[in-house]
Structure 1
């Protein structure tokens, strides 16, 4: 947790003060890419730790519902950023001012808010499950991580497709609406904001569904839909002239994504015992987010610049298909829904403390 707390303000502030291409040449985009990768790494560490904490304090039969609100907090941050952008676009600055220096303001605010988050995090007490696990005699943490290498690989497989889809439908989508669908930046921001507002309440609802029918069916819904529909969805977005249709298609992408974002962290917390849970969940997610999430927009823009934008749609599809194969083969992690032997159930219950 502390590593993420220290790291998170830095990349936002690096982006805010980074010199431009005219000042340091090719080092400017290299610095921005490094900062984005560091953002992904630090966010992954924090997100995993927060998910672990919530999973251990939530009622056992409503963990999906409670963990859904973790994603609500993520989307709320995005909505605040979009709201600030709308304020800047409509009232505070001209388009030229935003292009030249105004775009740095949200990163300054984000870095300062992260300092407040560090202060709040230091005052949170450890959960009873973690304290009980720490008192037990067990092998060193590194050895336990090695012992759970299969579940760590499983956690990465669960994550890869959703990470690419998340950054596609929530971050890159706004640029796609401008660069490929022909919208103005203001209208693109409005459509993205409206779609995210509808996406927000879906997170605890999908989590509740996973409490009732299990985690795997919800993940399979995401994996199957994001394997079948990104290509036609983006093709339709690039051709339609109706802003209403654009909004509906953007929300459709977020609806598919909800099958992943609502519960994926909970699923991973249910794979590991309490003593190593935060690290075993946070580290693979942080690395995956840094490598795939931090480069998704770059990959999309590269394909666009090369004249093969449709390749990126298939890029999203392929990663979703990889995760779908994992969902189809993985065990059900929700103990109440898992059809396992008594010995396996006892082991699962121990890891679910």
Structure 2
């Protein structure tokens, strides 16, 4: 059996890796991924402060700057399909490690640019232009990061451990988000509102640029998981995955739609939802988010290990059907009480784990190794852009239009759509990775 066969079947280390390298592979993917997502999420946690400094306030509607800030959040998401396609192609052509290096460099540059964005008062319309450019660079990076790190993690897993390894995609994502939330909450507690508006909101992005350099240094020690035979063979075309595997590409979209809207609603938008719909305190919302994210991170390996035992489909259906049934009553029960938001957020995290803990494994198990990264990257990132990236904007728009109760039904409907895809999804937990 060749080294390629070993990796494809999940029965060996990556080619050329020394014994005991699994932990090193896991750390290289996870720490770099945490740095990436810290930079990405810092923006959403500080949106209310960025809005005051970068966008002019409407005299007729105080929600206009916040809507504009979330629109820029969504713009970054629409670079993610391009990043998924381009960085996925780099991973399939030149190796997973080369793509992981490129994505973390891009994210660090984007974070630094956000930190240095001038205010609207100082330079006028140039301020939102700089912010948009920074988010476009970060969107390109994040789109490629998911494709490359998902492929890298699952190909690095040993026998019967692909679910466990894949769960660290969201463990590290959540750790990055948790650090971003914690840093934002700490600044809110230590600084006055005036200082946060003047310069405090820039500090997390400067930290993020440094964090990216740490992740880059750690990734230098990673071992390549792309099969050796494919490194010397003809390289796949940019659109080969879409052209040769249209059914698999559509399946990725269906798998992702409900998961991404639920994920971004619960982990990113919920604190703002509580603020604009229940007058929840801004600082308390960040504290609740930090606590619930820590709980969420602890759940991921448990879900991954469970999926290695019972399969991916039971967890996916638990998520989709549970969210479809409970998202409306959960969001309707949010009040201005601390315990209310904490209970709602933690309950949603339990349901959401059915998707997040297995998403990376399911995606990687659908495509063959030759086009695995690009095959995952483009349809996944496109779906996230359409439904996940727009969640804060759509939720705020519902509120502005006077129909705040419509947003939970929108989330429930997308979860039901994904449930239909999960029902027809072949079970892939016990089989080998496609070579």
**TM-score, structure 1 normalization:** 0.86
Matched with 1:171 is: 268
Residue 296 of structure 2 contacts residue 349 of structure 2 at CA under 8 Å; is this kept in 1? Answer: yes
Q: Which moved more, 1:262-271 or 1:53-62?
A: 53-62
Change (3 A) 1:290 1:101: farther
Q: Which moved more, 1:313-322 or 1:263-272?
A: 313-322
Per-residue CA deviations over 1:72-115 (Å, capped at 9, x if unaligned) read: 11111111112212221222x11121133311221222133223
Q: Which moved more, 1:209-218 or 1:27-36?
A: 27-36
After TM superposition, the structure 1 = structure 2 runs for residues 113-262 of structure 1, keeping only pairs within 5 Å, are 113-127=211-225, 130-135=227-232, 140=237, 142-237=239-334, 240-262=335-357
Residue 38 of structure 1, CA deviation: 4.6
Change (3 A) 1:16 1:290: farther
Q: Distance in 1 between matches of 2:298 and 2:433?
A: 32
Residue 70 of structure 1, CA deviation: 2.2
Question: What SS is found at the alignment partner of 2:227?
Answer: helix
Residue 214 of structure 1 contacts residue 332 of structure 1 at CA under 8 Å; is this kept in 2? Answer: yes
Q: Which moved more, 1:242-251 or 1:193-202?
A: 242-251
Residue 154 of structure 2 contacts residue 360 of structure 2 at CA under 8 Å; is this kept in 1? Answer: no
Q: Which moved more, 1:253-262 or 1:285-294?
A: 285-294
Q: Does 1:81 find its partner at 2:180?
A: yes
Matched with 1:333 is: 428
Q: Distance in 2 between matches of 1:196 and 1:150?
A: 34
Matched with 2:156 is: 57
Matched with 1:315 is: 410
Change (3 A) 1:288 1:55: same
More helix by share: 1
Provide structure 1 residue ranges, at least 5 long, that are not aligned to the other structure: 337-348
Residue 47 of structure 1, CA deviation: 2.0
Matched with 2:196 is: 98
Q: Which moved more, 1:295-304 or 1:137-146?
A: 137-146
Q: Does 1:66 find its partner at 2:165?
A: yes
Residue 134 of structure 1 contacts residue 275 of structure 1 at CA under 8 Å; is this kept in 2? Answer: no
Residue 294 of structure 1, CA deviation: 2.7
Q: Does 1:288 find its partner at 2:386?
A: no
Change (3 A) 1:316 1:39: farther
Per-residue CA deviations over 1:272-305 (Å, capped at 9, x if unaligned) read: 1112212212232233334433322122222222
Provide structure 2 residue ranges, at least 5 long, that are not aligned to the other structure: 1-98
The count of aligned residue pairs is 336
Residue 207 of structure 1, CA deviation: 0.8
Change (3 A) 1:297 1:82: same
CA RMSD of aligned residues (A): 2.4
Q: Does 1:270 find its partner at 2:368?
A: no
Per-residue CA deviations over 1:167-225 (Å, capped at 9, x if unaligned) read: 11111111122222222222112211111111111101111111111111111111111
Matched with 2:5 is: none
**TM-score, structure 2 normalization:** 0.71
Q: Distance in 2 between matches of 1:246 and 1:95?
A: 23
Residue 15 of structure 1 is aligned with which of 114, 118, 135?
A: 114
Change (3 A) 1:12 1:54: same
